[in-house]
Every structure is written in structure tokens, then in C-alpha cells.
Chains A and B, each alone.
Chain A
Amino acid sequence: MKLPAHIALPGRRRPTPGSDRTPVYAMVGNPNCGKTTLFNALTGLRQKVGNYPGVTVEKKIGVTYSQHGRPIQIIDLPGAYSLAARSPDEAVLRDVLLGRRADTPQPDRIICVVDAANLERNLYLVHQILDLGRPVIIALNMMDMAAAAGMKVDAAELEGELGVPVIACEAVHGRGLVELKLALSRLELPLARHRWDVPVPIAPAVAEIQASLADNDARTPLIARAEALLLLTDFDTVRVAGSKPLSARTHELLSQWRQRWVQEGTDWSAVLIRSRYDAINLLCKDVIRRPRETGPSRSDRIDAVLCHSVWGWAFFAVIMGALFYSIFSLAESPMNFIDEHVAAFGAWVKGAMAPGDLRDLLTDGVISGVGGIVIFLPQILILFFFVGLLESTGYMARAAFIMDRPMSRVGLNGRSFIPLLGAYACAIPAIMATRTIENARDRLVTILVAPLMSCSARLPVYLLMIATLLPGDVVPATTKAGIMLTMYALGTGGVFFFAWLFQRTLFPAAPQHMIMELPPYQPPRFKEILRHMVERGWMFLKNAGTIILGISIVLWFLTTYPKHPDPHATPTAQIAQSFAGQAGHLIEPVIKPLGFDWRIGIGLITSFAAREVFVSSMGVIFGVEGANDDTTPLRDALRGAHWPDGAALFTPLVCIVLMVFYVFAMQCMSTVAVVKRETNSWRWPLFQLAYMTGTAWLVCLVLYQAGRALGY
């Protein structure tokens, strides 16, 4: 009978260093094995989870409490198949575990989360981690998925074989969490019985580099051995900011051994991997019992349709069509409700207060500006609901699979499509998600084109222009959805065009390999989706209550002062000579060829803070103009706006051109900042700003002038 790990021999136990210090656990595992779900369940945090690989791209730190109430720090690390990092997110895992990150303490203990339904492959990473010689707890997650596949995974047997605590759990359902917390609470943990020896012919190289790492790079003996094994087989040394460089002596030794193996023509990397898998297969012999006969699984049957060369595309088109139709049809009633209440509130404030600057500030600045944005909340929530559905069910990875072929035509591959699809919601997390892309060139191209995907901040601008373009409620939702879909298609088309252009001109190279795991389909986790919707909705409202409120107040001031010398001057004359009016007039010569006047120009300037600010700016500017009237819906105010010669300002052509401008222009300073951070240089964000805004101006010029020539 095998003894459970908790009564292992005293000599193999490893106490937590510094018993009065908060122990630090690293949570590691393959992509999409449920690490973040487990992390959230343990720490009570709400980090984003999804049913596709690569949701977590940076370390996240949380705290849980032991059974005695002691705090335990947990670092959730991005998923990786191996410690031999291939992409920046995998490098984070490797560098934290090896203590190479100057900004992160080296973890005392490691929680290896493994997918029970795919145990052998998950144990490959565990096998490498056991080399580190640190106390390990294995969380055997997704036991329900293994059972559904007809597999029996014996946690006790695995614990007996490895000699470390193995806790069977289902993080999604909260099962096994108590047992896991008990294991985390233990003051002492046994070290693994690690049945694996370095293949004999490679052993001298490992010993030599291990000694150099210990002597010249201040590594402990076990870390030095693990790192030596890694360095000998890690061909691509992806580094992240903060990693400590290796010493010159270690570099020299590495180069010597690699050259020697190249000359001998021996692939020691393959030998090492095979050796590890042989050990894992031996280990799993009595741990896993598989069903004798397996037919196609539920996911296989669904994939036969959704990944089909014809039906797959048809389903993809239906999903996207349903998304845009829902944005209009389902959001109409709540939008009308908000619209009516904002207008009524504005009218009440106007009636309740004495005329003056304070009343105008509240009605024309605050209520017009913020109210104009809040109205779009229902549509933002619908967009995030759909994105959540795609992420939660596992369809996101299938969309990447379907899109691989068109992406390959422009030199990218399907892996780039997951960040791009995420950019429909917001470009900032999408740009961070490019860290999962292994090839640096593909990653940079994806970063450069991602902001062309129409994000949720463009939605208010599109909706306002469509409402101005198609007056009244008699126009069917399908027509409005069609225009919206065209704008999204234009942005997506821009992504393909510029990716193709950059691959041909800036970064010419052969197409890269793409290999990606597709997760099993899962029923949508509505609780997670709703929580994500609420978080994003709250963020949107918080933006409206802070940035947009601030900009609205400043803009109201800039449109109100200096006062016109004539107290009876028209509102238009007043705004024309205000600070904002002067700035608008300054850029009018540049934007007039696009059909935009100085008032739209003010909106273009202010919306560099965030695209949706354009709507609040229009609310303030046209609210000021109509200061003597009751608060009217913004779309009606825009429809009534005119050029000095009496011609309508927001003609259908100008509405379309303005939408197209927002499709292409880089009107988001947060994106500029995140691109600077991710590329570690100002060169690329400035290039991006120039090419996107330049394209927007040029396309709008051609469109407007051609439209005018055709009589529109």
C-alpha cells in the first residue's frame, strides 16, 4: 500500500522558509487548464477567465487564507506548455519560477494545475517544474471533463507515484477547494520522488552549465540544474523586461555545447523531450484508465459543423449578423427609457434653477455631455454579452481556426485573430493579448493593425451618426444594422489590407507555423458573462462620470468663455468666438475638405482622449447653441445644424464620412500608451498614429469629394 504524501518521510519534507513570512505560491499550468478560475475561487478576486488559451498574459497576485487564518500569497501565471518559452507570456512563467524577474519574489512553493482529461501532456510541464526542487502541490482539475470522456484518473495513485499532494478538484463547481486550501496551509510539504535522470550523453553539458550558473549567476544547485536543462534546449530566448541577463561565462559554455551538437548532428532537444515523455507514460500507466472504445465526442460532432469549410463560415456570418442586429433591436427600449429620463431631468433642472452660468453648466455641460454617453450603455452591454458568449463557449478559438486561411493570405495566421476579435470590445486588452503570439514580427503587425477593429468606444459615434442619418423610428433595425456592419467590415478590411501591406514592405518574411489547441465546447457560464458585463458597464459609466464629465465641464467652459461683447449675440456667434471655437476654426482648413466644420473639429480634438467623447462634445457644443430651448435629443440638434450659408451640416454624406473617419483614425490616447509599453518604444505608436489618422483623412477626402461630385 502506498502512503499518502502527508505522511512522507521527515527527511524529504520542506518547511516554508521563514515561518513568520507570508508564503508565496506560484500557480502554473498549461493554457486553458482552469488556473485563473481556481485562482479566483481561492482568492475571491475576479480576474478574467475564458474558454480559450491565452486569457492570462501577465502575472496576477492575490491572497488567500490558511485554515489557521494566515495569509498566503498566490501568483497566477500565464499558461505554458513548457518552461522553454516561445512567447512573451510564457517567458513570464519561466522567469518568475527561475527567479529571473527582479520585480517578483521567487515563489516558495508551486501549485501545478493540470487538466485531468489531458494528463500526460499537462504532466510535461509538471515534470520540468519538479526539476526545480521546490515543494509542489498538484491540483488535478477538470475531473468532471475526464469523467465525461469516460476516463478514470486516480489522484491517490498519482500522489503515491510522485510523492507530492495531489488534490482532485473541479474549480468551476468549487469542488476540491477545501482540500486544496488544507494542502496550502501545511507548514511542511514533501519533495517529489522524481523518477527521471538526464540522458547520459547530455549529462556532462548539464553538469558544466549547472556549475557555471551556480558559480557565476548565483543560482542554487537545483535551480541551476533545471535552468541548465532549459538553456540547452531553449533555442528561442524570448526575454521580458526585468529579466536578469546571464553571465558571459555561461553564455560562452552554452554556445560551445550547442555548436558541438550541431556539428555532431544530434538533436538533444528531441532526446530530452522523449525521455521526459517516457517517464510520464510510465508514471501514468496505473493512474489513467481509458474507455476501450471511444466514438466522436460532443465537441468533435460540433466541430464537424462549426469548423467545416462551408458551414463554418455560414455560422460565423450568422453570429456576427446576430450581434449587430441585437445591438439595435434589443437595445431600443432601454435606450429610449434612458433618453427620455435624461431629457426630463435636464428640463427639470432648467426649470428649477434661475438662469445663469451655473444652470447652463449643469444642463449644457454635465447633463448634455454625460447623458449623451450613458444612453449607449445598453448597446455596450449587448456587445460584451456576445463577446462573453464567444469566449465562454470555446467558439473564440474556432473563429481563429476559420480565419486562419484569410489571415495567411496577408502573412499572419489564425493565432492573431483572437486578439483582433477581442479588439471589437477594446483595443487595449487586445494589444496585451498579442503576447501569446510567438513570432515577434507577427506580434508587432497584429499590434499595429488591432486598433482598426471597431471597438466599443466607436459604437456611440456610429449610433449617433446612424440616428442622425436615418431620422425617425420607421427605418427597420436591419437597415441600421447593415450600416453598422459595413463600418465593422470596413475596419476589418483595413486590418487585412494593412497587415498585408506591412508584411510586404516593413517585415517581409515567410509565413510562420501556427499550432493551437482548441478547447472542448462548454455551456456558456452566464454568471461569469454577466459579471464581466457589469464590470465593463461600470467601467463605461465610471469613464462617463470622470473623464467624460471632466472634459464636458472643460469644454462647456471653453465654449462659453470669453463671452461675446454683445450680450444679445446668437449662441452660434458666442461659441464661434469662444476658446473652443477659435481652436475649431484653427483646424477647419484641414478638415473642411472632408465636409467637417469647426464644431466637428472641436469634437475630433477632444475625442483623442477617448472616441466616445465625440458624442459628449457634440452634446455640449450643440447644447450650448440651443441654450434657450428645452433640452432636445442630440440627433435632432445635429440634424438642425447648418453651415453659415444655410446648408445642412450633417448631410447623409457627412454622417457616413464621419463614421469612416472614426473607423480608421487613431482617436485613443490610452491605446497609444499601451502600444508604447508593449513595443517598448515611441517609434511604433507614433507610426501607428500617423498611418491610421493619415489614412482616415485620405479616405474621407476621397469619399466626400467623390460623393459631392456625384451630387450627394
Chain B
Amino acid sequence: MPASPIPLSPLCQLPAGSTGRVCELTGDDSFCQRVREMGFGEAALVTKISGSSTSLCLVNGTRIALNHRAAMSILVEQLPASAH
């Protein structure tokens, strides 16, 4: 039986306090490169601290602020609380 596709959501929709895994970057090349260079690339774990319009996240122990457009361009898979 084929595995069901992982439901992805933009980072801005990740609830505050939850953790997700970055699965896809959809912005322009320049943005994707910078995000990856900051350690925010595919497979990175990201914890949302707060925000819906502007998001505040924790990636590798660093607090990163992203505006709505940037957070919309990062698609994450929400991880269950037990998997953090």
C-alpha cells in the first residue's frame, strides 16, 4: 500500500509552541539560498514561539523572525509533541 503523503502547511500556520520539520522551500532562489545558509533548510527542525503575521521561530537554538511572505514560503510537517 503506498504511503499517504505527508500533510504540509506553511510555517505561519504552525501553532505557537509546536515543532515542525522543514520539508519544502517555495520562495525565489535568493530567498531559498539565504534560508538554507542560515541552517533553516530542508529537514531542519523549527519550533514556533509566537506570531501569525510575523512569525518568531527557534531553529538550532537561534531565534529567527520571518515576515508573513517568508513564513508562507516555508512548508513544514508538524511533528507530534512526543517526537520533539
- Report the nearest B residue to A84, measured CB to CB: B33
- Among B35, B37, B60, residue most surrounded by chain A Cβ atoms (within 10 Å): B37
Of the residues A149, A233, A404, contact of B53 by C-beta under 8 Å: A404
Of the residues B34, B51, B60, B70, contact of A121 by C-beta under 8 Å: B60
Whether the pair B54, A517 counts as a contact (CB closer than 8 A) is: no
Of the residues A149, A300, A517, contact of B64 by C-beta under 8 Å: A517
- Report the nearest A residue to B63, measured CB to CB: A518
- Report the nearest B residue to A439, measured CB to CB: B30
Interface size of A by CB at 8 A reads 45
Q: At the interface with chain B, which of A270-278, A344-352, A567-575, A702-710?
A: A270-278
Q: Mark A187-220, 1 if CB is under 8 A from B, else 0.
A: 0000000000000000000000000000000000
- Report the nearest A residue to B52, measured CB to CB: A309
- Among B30, B52, B54, B73, residue most surrounded by chain A Cβ atoms (within 10 Å): B54
| Closest-CB distance, A230 to chain B (whole angstroms) | 11
Whether the pair A277, B66 counts as a contact (CB closer than 8 A) is: no
| Closest-CB distance, B35 to chain A (whole angstroms) | 6
Q: Enumerate A500-525 residues with CB–CB distance to B below 8 Å.
A: 510-520
Residues of chain B lying within 8 A (CB to CB) of residue A300: 49, 58, 63
Q: Given contacts A81-B37, A299-B63, A303-B63, is CB(A513)–CB(B27) below 8 Å?
A: yes
Of the residues A82, A267, A400, contact of B37 by C-beta under 8 Å: A82
| Closest-CB distance, B78 to chain A (whole angstroms) | 19
Whether the pair B56, A518 counts as a contact (CB closer than 8 A) is: yes
Q: Mark A367-381, 1 if CB is under 8 A from B, else 0.
A: 000000000000000
Expressed in whole angstroms, the Cα–Cα distance for A84 and B29 within the complex equals: 12
| B32 on the A face (CB < 8 A) | yes
Residues of chain A lying within 8 A (CB to CB) of residue B36: 269-270, 273-274
Residues of chain A lying within 8 A (CB to CB) of residue B56: 303, 307, 401, 518
How many pairs, one residue from A and one from B, have CB atoms within 8 Å of each other in the complex? Answer: 126
Whether the pair A235, B60 counts as a contact (CB closer than 8 A) is: no
Expressed in whole angstroms, the Cα–Cα distance for A413 and B31 within the complex equals: 15
- Report the nearest B residue to A115, measured CB to CB: B62
Q: Enumerate A522-538 residues with CB–CB distance to B below 8 Å.
A: none
| B41 on the A face (CB < 8 A) | yes
Whether the pair A269, B29 counts as a contact (CB closer than 8 A) is: yes
Residues of chain B lying within 8 A (CB to CB) of residue A309: 50-52
Whether the pair B60, A120 counts as a contact (CB closer than 8 A) is: yes
Q: Given contacts A120-B39, A274-B36, is CB(A404)–CB(B63) below 8 Å?
A: no
Whether the pair A307, B50 counts as a contact (CB closer than 8 A) is: yes
Whether the pair A518, B64 counts as a contact (CB closer than 8 A) is: yes
Q: Mark B10-41, 1 if CB is under 8 A from A, else 0.
A: 00000000000000000111111111111111
Q: Given contacts A81-B34, A304-B49, A514-B67, is CB(A118)–CB(B60) below 8 Å?
A: yes
Of the residues A81, A84, A299, A414, contact of B65 by C-beta under 8 Å: A414
Expressed in whole angstroms, the Cα–Cα distance for A34 and B28 within the complex equals: 31
Whether the pair B38, A274 counts as a contact (CB closer than 8 A) is: no
| Closest-CB distance, A659 to chain B (whole angstroms) | 33
| A405 on the B face (CB < 8 A) | yes
Expressed in whole angstroms, the Cα–Cα distance for A422 and B66 within the complex equals: 21
Expressed in whole angstroms, the Cα–Cα distance for A339 and B1 within the complex equals: 87
Whether the pair A270, B65 counts as a contact (CB closer than 8 A) is: no
Residues of chain A lying within 8 A (CB to CB) of residue B73: 513
| B7 on the A face (CB < 8 A) | no
- Report the nearest B residue to A290, measured CB to CB: B61
| Closest-CB distance, A87 to chain B (whole angstroms) | 10
| A86 on the B face (CB < 8 A) | yes
Expressed in whole angstroms, the Cα–Cα distance for A303 and B57 within the complex equals: 11
- Report the nearest B residue to A512, measured CB to CB: B69
Whether the pair B63, A515 counts as a contact (CB closer than 8 A) is: no
Of the residues A81, A308, A514, contact of B38 by C-beta under 8 Å: A81
Whether the pair B64, A236 counts as a contact (CB closer than 8 A) is: no
Whether the pair B65, A518 counts as a contact (CB closer than 8 A) is: yes
Query: Which residues of A approach B to under 8 Å, CB–CB?
Result: 81-82, 84, 86, 117-118, 120-121, 124, 149, 233, 235-236, 267, 269-270, 273-274, 277, 299-300, 303-304, 307-309, 397, 400-401, 404-405, 408, 413-414, 510-520
